[in-house]
Homo-oligomer: A and B are copies of this chain.
Amino acid sequence: MDYQHIIEKLEHKISKLPKTGKVANYIPELQKVNPDKFGLHLSCVDGKDYAFGDSNELFSIQSISKVYTLALAKEIVGDDLWKRVNVEPSGNAYNSLTQLENENGIPRNPFINAGSIVVADLLLSVLENPKDDLLNFVRKISKDESIAYDERVAESEKATGSRNVALIYYMKSLGNIKNNPEAVLDFYFYQCSLNMSCKQLATSYKIFADDGKLSGTNHQVFNNQSVKRINSIMQTCGFYDEAGEFSYRVGLPGKSGVGGGIVAVHPRQFSVAVWSPKLNDKGNSSLGMKALEELTNLTGLSIF
């Protein structure tokens, strides 16, 4: 497939689309971003890379980090993980308490906030230096030692994160949190604060496109079966209550964040990261969704 040609056509198309939606504003740090930024980086498993726009600029990856922590937890804890969090799409907003109430504190899936907080709790029980260990892991699979947490973002999340405090104490009241809730949230907010570029994101997610192998090597970081399963969860749960819509339009597993980033994976073909800060009603990057839909149209590819 002539990706170079496709990417050029895509860049042209995107340049003509209006930038609609609203930048996330629940913390001041996220609001400071230039709303008109747009970047895309596509990284093929055969080693070729294609990019345009602000693809090397750092932004707050937010919930995109939930896939990293899930993959780590799955690797360390194994299927016991699923006693604490489910794999079903949520059908509710990402931070709903109602569902927890109806389901005894077991979050619907690891990509809603409650689920990712449980994953953070699990990692806190098994990692020696959770923040460092996670950062080293992300740096390794992204092949970039410069990646860092944004402490201002993490602290700002902490200061405004009452809903997440409610979620964790509610799950604690139902027996599904084992560590100190404040320590868990500290780790959780730091993971969300990672600053990364489209290039770094696409590189790191290639591990999910390439059956668990570290990008450009034969080193099997995750086993093949685990990667298939994580991709499956991205497919059914990666976009809050717009997961079906993304699956329908784009047809690839993926994960979005309120910083405006989206990463998607075409197994055995490529990983692609896109960034545009303005969000639609559902909290997903508006232009990012359209760019990936257009990519599917241009390549004719989808997993279906």
Q: Is the interface of A mostly helix, strand, loop or mixed?
A: helix
7 closest pairs, A vs B, by CB?
Answer: A91-B91, A89-B89, A162-B173, A166-B170, A231-B304, A88-B244, A165-B169
Residues of A within 8 A of B (CB): 86-92, 96-102, 108-109, 162-163, 165-170, 172-173, 224, 227-229, 231-233, 235-237, 241-245, 247-248, 251, 253, 267, 300, 302-304
Is the beta-carbon distance between A236 and B243 smaller than 8 angstroms? Answer: yes
**Known contacts A101-B98, A253-B304; A236/B247 CB under 8 A:** yes
A96 CB contacts on chain B under 8 angstroms: 101
B303 and A88 within 8 A (CB): no
Q: A232-B247, A237-B244 are in contact. Are A101 and B97 (CB under 8 A)?
A: yes
Q: Are A232 and B248 in contact (CB under 8 A)?
A: yes
B165 touches A88 (CB 8 A): no
Contacts A/B (CB < 8 Å), 25 sampled? A87-B248, A88-B91, A88-B241, A88-B242, A88-B245, A89-B244, A91-B91, A96-B101, A97-B98, A98-B101, A109-B244, A162-B169, A162-B170, A162-B172, A165-B169, A166-B170, A229-B248, A229-B251, A229-B304, A232-B244, A235-B247, A236-B236, A253-B304, A267-B303, A267-B304
Instruction: For A89, give its contact among B86, B168, B232, B236 (CB under 8 Å).
Output: B236
Evaluate contact between B228 and A233: CB separation under 8 angstroms. no
